[in-house]
Amino acid sequence: MSLARELEAIGRPLVEEQLRHPTVAGIARGDLDLAVFRGWLEQDYLFLHDYVRVFARLAWQAPDGHLGDLVELAHSTFFDELSLHRALAEEFGADLAGAVKGPACAAYTAFLLDAAASYGEGLAALYPCMWGYSTLGRILAEDPPADPRYRRWVDAYADPGFAMLAGRVAVMLDEAAPDPARARTAFLEGMRHELAFWDVPS
């Protein structure tokens, strides 16, 4: 079993836990309190800016064969994913410009930026976000919410193109071959941050 597949296997119970989280369950039903999603959206908008910086820090260390992959991941996050957030912000009345990081966002981004000092471990640390959202999107798309705003969010992460980007991270992770124990530690910490991120600050 490849390292990426091993990490996915140990991360799946935490994906199931996310699916049971009230925020994710509300998105799945399409009846999540608009204020909660608005708060999540503001936090994730701030998170994604630092996520781009994580890709950039890893790109600086990447072998030539994967430099383009990491540049493309940074580009997709900055232009495509953040554009989705800006569009949803208009529909939900989110204040992206005035948003301030809550504790979960600050802790997660600090962890990722620190982990990115090591190429292999940094890939393991960020994999929960790429693989996790692709997995959540695919599962939620099996019975999508009726509310078109939440359906749009689900469709974005269920998109095969997003799954392809996550798959490229898996390939890079396997080729980087970090110490398996350290990779598992980084991955599981990332998964715990993913779960905590759904606790939207009030």
Burial (Cβ within 10 Å: 0-12, 13-18, ≥19) of residue 187: buried
Render pLDDT for 158-176 as a digit per residue (tens, 0 to 9).
999 999 999 999 999 999 9
For 70-126, the pLDDT digits (tens) are 999 999 999 999 999 999 999 999 999 999 999 999 999 999 999 999 999 999 999
Q: Among all residues, which ones are annotated catalytic?
A: 129, 194
| pLDDT of 202 over the 80 cut | no
Reported confidence tier of residue 20, pLDDT bands at 50, 70, 90? very high
pTM flag (> 0.85): yes
Q: In the numeric block, which tokens belong to residue 174?
A: 């396997």
Say which residue the tokens 């708060």 belong to.
Answer: 39
What is the C-alpha end-to-end distance of the chain, expressed in Å? 42
> If 0-12 CB within 10 Å is exposed, 13-18 middle and 19+ buried, where does residue 30 land?
middle
